[in-house]
Amino acid sequence: MDTTSLLNHLLDQGKIALEPASFLYQVPSPLPEDWDFGRVEGMLLGLAIGDALGNTTESLLPAYRKHTYGEIRDYLPNRYANGRPVGLPSDDSQMAFWTLEQLLEDNRLVPDHLARKFSQQQIFGIGNTVRAFLRSYKDQGLPWEQSGQPTAGNGALMRIAPVLIPHLRRPSPALWADAALAGMITHNDRASNACCVAYIHLLWECLRLKQAPEPSWWVDTFVTTARELEGNTSYTSRNPALSYEGPLWQFVDQEVRLAIKQNWSTLEACERWYSGAYLLETMPCVLYILVRHGDNPEEAIARAVNDTKDNDTIAAIVGAAVGALHGRAGLPARWVSNLLGRTTADDDWHIFELIESAKQTFWQADPPLTSD
Ligand SMILES: [Mg+2]
């Protein structure tokens, strides 16, 4: 079954936490004629760079991190690479590049194959939700569509970017289906599924843009899509001072616009929302960093790394967007050249090989005929 029919089936049966919104049937706008694959290289490398710059100080409070390390703008010495200051992966880039591996193996998204791939190798810095997914899928043997957890963590959003790659040549609504299905494998939650589809839409538009957009574009683009897809939900902020209860899209809409109006620094805004792995924290932080620094990839990634708590994941998500917008050439060369390119403990250079294969398979080669 193709992924569009599969999504419809799951929506009909109420097995995916997502509103059956008309957006899911819209055809994505085509890429411009002079479009260059360097944008996708930038998206994937930006994700890996953000993860690698952040994962050595993950979960520290920004003030403590700053006190201990100063402003981080390069890879820290890494004990998994004999103390060399090089970029290594954690769960964010591991799972993103394993997704790309699955797409290359099957020429398209096959959710069960992706679920299997997630359960085959050691995941560094694994989150609670992915651990619970593995218990269901691997230990209890439940099918992939029953193994996603109903939690609003950022662990699906962090790895979603590669699903757009098979769609570059002939964009269709299957792009949104792939985002929803790939996301729900681990996190089957309305906020997470809506964020995955809305962010894939945002990344797709970043690939198409000729120049950095107006600051408000980031919020507008995310919110118009997410509000349709999320439906009626009730999430609360963990900051008692905010006492918010309602859908994620509305929190983002109110709060990021308020931050723009008040001209808060990214640190001030992220401290207000908190900046952990909860999507009600991650999502406004990501968007506000893009609002303030979307025109400057180095500064955007540096703010995510330094000003947030779940910094590797937030920097990976921000990195994918600024990479898609500015392309590989727009990323600082030292961050690219000092990235080891691993997805496991010792597969140096693997992500660069995957990126090259993706270019040949999904962009340079004639598009394969669909069989379904
Ligand atoms: Mg991580």
The residue range of the domain holding 257 is 42-72+91-364
50 CA to middle of ligand 1, Å?
10
320 CA to middle of ligand 1, Å?
14
92 CA to middle of ligand 1, Å?
5
169 CA to middle of ligand 1, Å?
31
306 CA to middle of ligand 1, Å?
15
- pLDDT by residue (tens digit) across 67-101? 999 999 999 999 999 999 999 999 999 999 999 99
Looking at the predicted structure, is the pLDDT value of residue 316 above 90?
yes
Looking at the predicted structure, is the pLDDT value of residue 48 above 70?
yes
Q: 225 lies in a domain?
A: yes
Residues 6+ apart with CB under 8 A from 92: 47, 50, 51, 55, 158, 159, 312, 313, 316
4 CA to middle of ligand 1, Å?
30
Q: 53 lies in a domain?
A: yes
Q: 24 lies in a domain?
A: no
208 CA to middle of ligand 1, Å?
28
Q: 22 lies in a domain?
A: no
Nearest alpha carbon to residue 339 among 128, 102, 11, 46: 46
170 CA to middle of ligand 1, Å?
32
Question: Can you give the CATH number for the domain in which 244 is found?
Answer: 1.10.4080.10
Q: Give the pLDDT of residue 372.
A: 47
Share of the chain above pLDDT 70, in %: 98
